[in-house]
Amino acid sequence: MSVTWCLRKSGPVSPSRRWLCLSLLLTLLPVSYARAQATTSGDVRVERVWARASAGTTANGVVYLTLSNHGERSDRLVALITSIAREAAIHETVQKNGMLSMEERGPLEIRPGESIVLEPSGLHVMLMGLKRKIEEGRSFPLTLTFERAGSIVVDVVVRGVGASGPD
Whether 78 and 45 have beta carbons less than 8 Å apart is answered as: no
157 binds Cu ion (CB under 5 A): no
Closest alpha carbon to 66 in 91, 37, 97: 37
Closest alpha carbon to 63 in 133, 166, 162: 166
Q: Least distance from C-beta 61 to Cu ion, angstroms?
A: 10
Whether 119 and 64 have beta carbons less than 8 Å apart is answered as: yes
Q: Which is nearer to Cu ion, 10 or 95 (CB)?
A: 95
Q: Least distance from C-beta 37 to Cu ion, angstroms?
A: 25
Q: Least distance from C-beta 138 to Cu ion, angstroms?
A: 21
Select the residue interacting with Cu ion from 63, 126, 154, 156 (CB under 5 A).
126
The binding site for Cu ion (CB under 5 A) comprises 91, 102, 126
